[in-house]
Structure 1
C-alpha cells in the first residue's frame, strides 16, 4: 500500500516539476523576444514576479488537482484542463500585480506572450511525458506479477492490467482455478497452473506479486492468501465489484487493529481539510466583523418594520445528523413558523421535504395590493441580496457550517428523508453551495437538490469550492442588478 501511494505521489511530483519548467521556459522565450536578447534574470522586478507566478502555479496545481487522473485523460480533456489551468494562473498573477500596485513596472505584451507560450509548451510536454509513461507501462518492467482468476474473468483481468499497467508489471503467468486450462494461452500469456498446482508454480518460479480476482460466487481464497503470505509474496485481492461501488471512493486504512477497505462518497486528505477549515476561520472572522457593521444599518430597519428580535435562530441538521442553531437576520414576521402550516398547500415542493413559495406573505414588508400588484419590504431586500445570511458567518467560525457546502435542512425535513437523501448530510452545510448557484429559485424538485448536493460531495476539492465562490458572487450581483 505504501509503495502505491509513493508512486502516485512521485508521478504527480514529476508533472509538477515539468509544469514549472515549462512556465520558466515560457518566461525565458518571452523575455528574449520582447527585450531582444537581454539577460532575463537581470531585472529584480521580473525576478520577483516570476517567483510569485511560480508559487501561484504550484498553488493552482495543488488546489485544483490539475494532475488528477492525468494518465487516463484523452487529448480533448488535456487541452481543456491545460487552458483552464493557464487562465487561472494568468488571472491570479494579474490580480497580484494590481494588488501590489506594480503594473507600471511590467511589459503587458511580455505577460501575454508568456502565457501563450506556457499553454503551448506545457500541453506539448504533458502529452510527450504521458506518451513516455504509457509506452513504458506497455513494455512492462522488472516486477513479476502472477494472476489468479476464473475462466469468466481471465480476459477482462488481463486487459485491465495491460491497459493500466502504471506499476510496470511483467505478467509471468495466469492460474485459472475453476477450470483446467493449463497450457493454453490468452493474448500471448500462458495459463501456467490450475487450482491444484498454484503452490507448485509459485514455489518453482520467482514471483514478486500476486493479483487475485475471482467471481463473486467463489469463496474467499483463504488458503491461497495464507500460502502466499507464508512465502513472503505481496498479494493483492480485489475485494469488491466496482459496479457495486459506483461513484464511491475506496481506500485501505487501519482501524482498531484491523486493516479495512473503506468506502466513501469522496476522500479528503488531512491537508485539504486543514486548508478548508483555515479558510472558514479567516472568512468567518471577516464575515462576523461585516455582520456587526451591517447590523447597525439593518437592525433598526427590521425593528421599525416589525418589532421583535433582529436575529432569527432555528435548529438545523448538519454533518452526520448533528443539530445546531443556525443564525440569520430576521426577514419574516414573528409568527412565520405558525403560519407555515396554513401555507403548506402553496408549497412548490410537493413532497414537503423543503418549503418554497412564491410571494410568501410571511416576509416582513411584503403586501399584496387590491389591484393584484405586490409591495416588497425590508424582508424581501434581505432575502434577494442574501444579506439575511450574514449571521451564518458565526456558524462558520464555530465550525457548525462551512463557507461552501450543502443546504442545512430543518429537523422536520430530515424526518421525512429516505435513505439516499441522507447522503447530503455527509458533509458540513454551507452558506452557499452548488445548489444555491444553480438556480435555486427555479428548482422545485427535491430530488434535483439531492442530486446537486451529492454531485458537490462526490467532486469536492478546494478548487471546486473556489469555482462555487466565483459563481456565488456572479449570482448575487445579478440578483441585485435585477432589483
Structure 2
C-alpha cells in the first residue's frame, strides 16, 4: 500500500498544529511578562486564548496560509509569518471590540502576543521544515526503486533522481528498453531485460518502479499491468494513461511529474495514526510477551530442551526480509521433518503448510492404539500465546499489529504475480484471513483474496474491527492450528 501525501489544507496539518502551539506559547509568555501569572488560571484569559486558537485555525484554512510552505526561503517565510499573524490579531482585535470585551483585556498583552507569535512561529516553522527535509532524505534512502528507461535518457534521469535536492532516491537497479552489453549505467547495475522485469520484481525487494518510456511500447503496458497485479507502485513520467483496477494520481518524484498507480494509498496522517497505534500496542504486547515467556518458557524447555523463542526469516513489505519471533511450539528438528509430511499438507498447492495433526508440535503424540495426544505446544498455538513475541517486531517497525501474514522464503519463491499483492503492506500479527477462519481456510487463493480485500479497503476502523474479532480467537480456538 502506497503512502500518498495529503491534499488541500490538510496537506500541512502539521504546520497548523505548530502554529497553534507557537500562538499559545506566545500568549502564555505575554500574560506572564505583563501580569506575572499563568494565563489559563484566569477565566477571562482562558476565553481569549481559545478565541485566538480558533481564529488562527480559521485563517490558516480560509487563507491557505501554508500553501507552498516548503518552497519558501527564509525571507519569504518571515514575511508570510508576519502577514498571517497580522491577520489573526486584526480579527481578534475586531472581535474583542465588537463583543465589548476590549476593556477587560490588556492591549499590551495582545500586542506582545502578536510579536512573540511572529518570532516563535517563524522559528518553529523553519526548524520543522529542516527536520522534515532531513527525514525525507533518510526515508528515500531506505526505499528501493527500480528505474525503467530508454538508454539515451538513462544517465540524465538517474542523476536527477539521485540528486540530494530532489530526494536522493535509492536506485537499486536499471532496466533498459533496448538490449545492451553494458553491465551498469552511471554506476547503477542493469539488472534485467525489459521482458524479464516483472519476474525480477516478483523475487526482489522493490518498493516502487519508475518508468520513463513511451506507452506505445506494449512491453511497458504489460509491465505496468504486472506491477498492478503484484501491488507494486509505479511512477510513470508525464501521466498519459487510463487503466482500470488501480488507484492513480499525479505527484512529484525527483522533481519530475509522474502518474503513480497503487492498489491503495494512505496519507501521512493515516500512516502516523497506524504507527502510533502499533507503538502503543507493541509496548503493551511486549510486556505481555515477557510475562508469557516467563510462565510458559520453563515448561517448553523441560519438554523440549532448546531455546524458548523460535526465530525465522520471513518476507515483509514489498519483499524485504526480516526475522520474526514466536514462542517455540515445535521440536528443534521440525524443519527437517517437514519434507516427510508434505503429503499431509492441507493446502494442496503448497503455498502454505498446514497439517490437521502435526507430530512436530511439542507434546503431540500418536499413541499405540491410534489416539492422538496433545500437549503444551498445541495449547499455546490454539490460544495464540506463541504469537506474543511478534510484538517485539511491531515495536521495531518490521511488522504491524494488523496486516497480512508474512510468508516463509520457500513459500515466497512460489509466488505468482497476484500473490505478491499480499506484500503491499507491513505484515501483521493478525489480519483479515485470520479472523475469517485462520487455519480452517485451506485454499491459498482465498487467503490472497481476503488479504487483497483488506489492503484495498484499509482504514483504522477496519483494523479495530479485526482486532476485536481477534480477541475472541484465543478463547474459542476457532480455526487455530
TM-score between the two structures when normalised by the length of structure 2: 0.50
TM-score between the two structures when normalised by the length of structure 1: 0.50
